[in-house]
Amino acid sequence: MLKINPKIKEALEKGMPVVALESTIISHGMPYPKNVETALRVEQMIKDHGAIPATIGIIDGDAIVGMTPEEIEQFGKRKGILKASRRDLPVIYAKKLWAATTVASTMIIANQAGIEVFVTGGIGGVHRGAQETMDISADLQELAKTNVTVVCAGAKAILDLPLTLEYLETMGVPVLGYKTKELPAFYTPHSGLAVDYQVDSPKEIASIIKEKRKNNLAGGLLLTNPIPEEYAMDAKIIHDAIEKALKMADEQGIHGKESTPFLLKTIVELTGGDSLESNIALVLNNAALGAEVSKELARK
């Protein structure tokens, strides 16, 4: 069911380093043309570090692995693109719809294509108040069962980070910190929460991934990469913006899969665009690391 770009297919067959990218950043992350510019910048960052980017999206019911610049442009301009997680895929495929892939669905499609490393901004997780709402992202279940390494700047800061870590521990997902013992908090490098293990080089990370696969330990691996300090937001400013955005979502009755896009968009507005620039910086930083890890994995 996959449509793999011939260049990506050839790279995979030759054992070259390939890095998967999601498409929600294009359709749901930011306005046009910033969305397209950012997607292409992230791809270029991966190329600059010696790997091959494969942006994944669904067009007319086909899962595209390695979208062309033209397809990314279409994605960036098109209105009404759906947001696809695991539960949505069979319906989207059957109805021949357009959809952007989340962390969960990108992991599924990347795994089907044979891509180990996937770069994103931040994963979904346990939402605040989940004790009552049971609002837990499908990303966490996917990490528990799908063999893909996810490079991110931690879980999105709008979430309940301690409960997210607890859930990942329960599901047996290793949480690694790149050159840090502390879980990054998306917009800032610090959360006050410990990761499972610190790792200090792409070579070390690749060896852990290889051991996981060699020993048939199914499931993903979460590699958290702190946003560089020069791009990090002031902790109080972002905390206040998040609290205000959460209150607005509650007052407007926004929940479920609509909550994250609403919250991120509102935080951008409340911070005068600063959070968007931090978001872009952290994705680019993750892309560089993901490319280096992919290169190490490709070495025999």
59 vs 274: CA distance, rounded Å: 32
Residue with tokens 């060896």: 207
Catalytic-residue membership of 34: no
DSSP state of 187: T
- Kindly write down the DSSP assignment for every residue of 196-232, as one continuous string: SEEE--HHHHHHHHHHHHHTT--S-EEEE-PPPGGGP
* Catalytic residue of the set 9, 83, 156, 257: 156
**Nearest to 290, CA basis, from 54, 102, 100, 73:** 54
Question: Which residues are CB-contacts of 8 (< 8 A; sequence separation ≥ 6)?
Answer: 18, 52, 54, 65, 66, 113
Q: CA separation (Å) from 3 to 60, 66, 86, 113, 124?
A: 11, 9, 18, 9, 26
* Catalytic residue of the set 9, 22, 43, 292: 22
Catalytic-residue membership of 22: yes
The answer to whether residues 75 and 26 touch, using CB atoms and an 8 Å cutoff, is: yes
**CA dihedral over 293, 294, 295, 298, signed as positive or negative:** positive
Catalytic positions: 22, 156
